[in-house]
Structure 1
Amino acid sequence: MLRIHFLLRQPNKKGVKAIYATVRYSNQTVILYPRMSIHTDLWLRKKGINKPKDVPENNDLKDKLSDFERIVRRTHMELQAQTPNSIVSPKLLKTAVYAKHLNKIVEATVKPQKENRILIADFFQQLIDDSKNKDRVSQDGRLITAATIRSYETTKMHFCNFQIKQHRKYRLVDTDQKLIDAFSNYLTYEKKISFNSVGKYMKTMRTLLNYAKQKKLITSEILADIKIKVNHEEVDNIYLSMQDIKDLTELKGFETPVHDTVRDLFVIGCLTGLRFSDYSKLYTARFEDGFIHITQTKTLGRLTIPIHPIVKKILEKYPNGLPKVPNNADFNGCLKDIGKKLPQLRTEFEKITTREGKPVPVKHKKWELLQTHTARRSFCTNEYLNGTPTITIMAISGHKTEQSFLTYIKADALQHAMIMKERWLKNDNTDV
């Protein structure tokens, strides 16, 4: 077994010191110098521990030491494979490691000359293309969704427009806090984009820079000096009460059969708590003994949901199985057409969002705010108001904490007062 330890020369004398590695295997010892150094103040020395301290200044050095260790291990393995019946000589290992390491150093000095010319807009396109081509996956190994890729494309569009405004094209190596803040201010104050949308685009910028670091196009030092704020605020959105949902089911005279299907699937979403990615593909689910059994598209978690009487009635309408539905955008368009037909959704709803750093109230007709996600929010809110235990609703909705769930649902002060009043009546604690 090969063991590698990094140590400092003259560690007891303060100042910048050379790092060396002791490599031990099969009773052999090799001392190697990776041509790296560090100040003693940034080196951790404890009993049995010798390594760079876990501080941002050391990130790039730690990456280089890890690369050097990989070279040593890979070189030893290759040499051992050539002579499986003998021990690799320390001299041979040292010569081979230095040859590979020196070659890597030379490449590192030549390559940045090309990398310094890489434009942020061009690398944005690489991020998009790699995500589409499945060359890039998420941290947990899943494919990047189409919605996420669309967000990348929109962020790239805004960044390109920002460059036009600045009369210059930015390279990856130009990335610093000043550039990040300038782009954020452009989105906030010039484009007057909402608080949450700015947060989404800045999150994409962070993804872009992390990918550039992964590709070794920018260093850890650049990222360590940049703070990207990903802001988010909870915005008021509508939900449909149980009476609204029942009224929806009774609507007739739609413009097209597609509208009828959209209404039915949306109602199912309102009564199951499923995301659009799941209730739009219910034809893949298993219906058995009064339950829906489905594997969630987003989390791959398995769900078992009781079939509501209204859902049962809808399912009976499609004896050959639920039909496929339009994509998210077209589905939302149909929903708004349907919502106009309900008198209660033609009333006004004031939605407050943050723009230019200030809260801005905007009045909408409720039907204008109908979207695929309204179904899941309606389910969560109605079940909460109905007294269903929070933990039970969360098991279906997928919320991880009770706080995030309570922030998500839309039960206003009057409804909370109604819940309290009902409990008082039930418990007979006071005369109401």
Structure 2
Amino acid sequence: MATGKFRVKTNNEWNTIYYRFKHSKEFDIEISTGLKAPNKRWSEAKCEVLSSKDFDSDSINSTIKDLDRFVIGEYNKDLKEGVIFNSKWLKEKLKIFLNRETNNQLIDDNIFLTNYIDKFIQEAKNKKTRNNTLIKPRTIQHYNTTLNKIKSFEEFYNLKLKIIDVDLKFHGKFIEFLESIQKLNPNTIGGYIDDIKLIINNADKKGLEINREIKLNEFYTPSNKTNDIYLKEAEINSIHNHKFELDYLDNARDWFIIGLRTGLRISDFLKLTKKNIVDGFIEKNTLKTDYPVIIPIHKQVQFILDKRNGKFPREISDQKFNEYIKKVCEEVKINEVVEGAKMTEIKVTKKGKEEIIFRKKNGKFKKYELVTSHICRRSFATNLYGKIDTLTIMKITGHTTESQFLSYIKITKREYAETLKNYWIKMSAIN
């Protein structure tokens, strides 16, 4: 039977504790644990550090007992796998026990969280979905962001997480870190938690050891109700009809109207060309979902095309578009004070140095301050809701479920009430 024993070899002020692991004549291995005992406080008979006023002997004795149990357990698991037991094997087990990488990729990728996530990301780049399409680059990008957040968490707490460490304690500390240190909102944090759940479940399916607490309801995904805004028909028309003296604002306004009247994402409508116009319709394979959509050309979009000799507006970057449409809405005086979330500078201290980061801050702002590219698709869906059937709108916006769609549109309770009021007035006039 394999057995382990600890000892010290020197008689210095501090002495390294060695671990000897042997099995009759099959193997006899000894390595340094890196743990140390003070002079004359090591008991050879008990294989432990004697109590001392100036030293936490209980902690180190607990560690070496846990190490012995761990090595014995690993030996029993590896015995039936035909593993060769040598100093390399024992050193790797010691590093795993002490949460240190072994530099053996086959081992580290299946034990440590960030190593596994990195491997998961590399595999995901060539993995196909149920629709036989590759996973989108934006999804891969989000996985990478999640990985970086976990690395920041490990750096902040000076630790190395194992896959099995993803439990309720980690869940609470990770959320607290993202809220308090990274200053992120619940919806953003929820995206990272969802990625972690997905990745750990993947590890579970591959037979790796995970903590079952991730399956509990308490391992929840944070979220919060957002105060997203949309532009009403009258506001869109005022933007369309306004005469801009500055050419760059006129160009941005035309792209803005195209986004508002097609319901496409910015990654799609800013890439439109004459080739996308087919028999009076705009046809586009969407970048995010690779979903083909066909959209009739709105009269305001047709006006823009006619104005530009059948061409779409001049090319513009996403960043400039978001910057310019705020100026467009400000000039048109879309300045109603509304509740929403605005990207704001926040000062944080990292490694003793003050840095500026940008995070969304909830509050009341002039509406034009809150305008970004996301308002295009949301305004399109919200303004058409109730006027045509929901399925038709969903086919253009790409929402797959009605519940998902209804949470996306931004009609307020008062607006619903006004609709009912107008309906009753209309019916009273008829009767």
Common fold by TM > 0.5: yes
Partner of 1:264: helix, strand, or coil?
helix
Q: Sort the Cα spacing of 1:332 and 1:105 in 2 relative to 1 into closer, same or farther, 3 A.
A: farther
**Distance in 1 separating the partners of 2:253 and 2:115:** 42
CA distance in 1: counterparts of 2:176 and 2:259, whole angstroms = 38
> Which one of 179, 194, 209 corresponds to residue 185 of structure 2?
194
Amino acid in structure 1 at the alignment position of 2:338: F
- Please, what is the CA RMSD of the aligned residues? 3.5
Code of the residue aligned with 1:379 in structure 2: it is F
Q: What is the CA distance between 1:389 and its match in structure 2? A: 2.5
- Mapping for residues 30-41 of structure 1, pairs under 5 Å: none
**Does the 8 Å contact 1:262/1:325 carry over to 2?**
no
- Cα–Cα, structure 1 residues 337 and 213, in superposed 2: closer, same or farther, change >3 Å? farther
Alignment partner, residue 69 of structure 2:
none
Whole-angstrom distance in 2 between the partners of 1:341 and 1:400:
37
2:172 and 2:186 map into 1 onto residues whose CA distance is: 14
Deviation at 1:196, TM superposition (A): 0.4
Match of 1:165 among 156, 162, 166: 156
Aligned partner of residue 428 in structure 1, secondary structure: helix
| 1:351 to 2:340 alignment | yes
CA contact (8 A) 1:305 1:396 kept: yes
Q: 1:222 aligned to 2:210?
A: yes
Task: Give the structure, 1 or 2, with the largest relative contact order (CA under 8 Å, sep 6 or more).
Answer: 1
Counterparts of 1:124 and 1:254, CA distance in 2: 52
Does structure 2 conserve the Cα–Cα contact (< 8 Å) formed by 1:325 and 1:331?
no
Cα shift at 1:127:
4.5
Report the secondary structure of 1:222's partner residue: coil
The answer on whether the counterparts of 1:234 and 1:408 sit within 8 Å (CA) in structure 2 is: no
> Percent same amino acid at aligned positions?
31
Match of 2:300 in 1: 310
Name the aligned partner's letter for residue 269 of structure 2: Y
Contact 2:163/2:210 (CA < 8 Å) preserved in 1?
no
| 1:211 to 1:316, Cα distance in 2 relative to 1, 3 A | farther
Partner of 1:383: 384
What is the CA–CA distance in structure 1 between the aligned matches of 2:122 and 2:313, rounded to whole Å? 32
- Counterparts in 2 of 1:312 and 1:171: CA distance versus 1, 3 Å: same
Contact 1:121 1:159 in 2 (8 A): yes
Note the C-alpha offset of 1:210.
4.2
In the alignment, is residue 239 of structure 1 matched against residue 240 of structure 2?
A: no
Is the CA contact (8 Å cut-off) linking 1:275 and 1:376 kept in structure 2?
yes
Structure with the largest fraction of helix: 1
Among candidates 252, 256, 274, match of residue 266 of structure 1:
256
Find the aligned partners of 1:423 and 1:430 in 2 and give their Cα distance: 11
Structure 2: runs of 5+ lacking an equivalent: 1-77, 97-103, 343-360
Q: For 1:282, what is the secondary structure of its paired residue?
A: coil
Structure 1 gaps, min length 5: 1-101, 354-359
Q: Deviations over 1:188-238 (max 9, x none)?
A: 344442110110111222233345456x5x61x516442342333441211
Contact residue 254 and residue 313 of structure 2 kept, 8 A: no
AA aligned opposite 2:237: K
Q: Distance in 2 between matches of 1:121 and 1:323?
A: 44
2:114 corresponds in structure 1 to: 121
How many residues align structurally? Answer: 316
Change beyond 3 A, Cα 1:117–1:401: closer
State whether residues 138 and 288 of structure 2, in contact with CA within 8 Å, keep that contact through their aligned partners in structure 1.
no
Give the Å deviation of 1:239. Answer: 0.6
For residues 348-402 of structure 1, the C-alpha deviation after alignment (integer angstroms, 9 at most, x for no partner) is 221379xxxxxx95122222221212111111111125x2232332232233333
Match of 2:416 in 1: 416
Aligned pair in 2 of structure 1 residues 382, 116: CA closer, same or farther (>3 Å)?
same
Matched with 1:47 is none
1:269-288 superposed Cα distances (whole Å, 9 cap, x missing partner): 21122222322222275424
Q: Distance in 2 between matches of 1:413 and 1:303?
A: 31
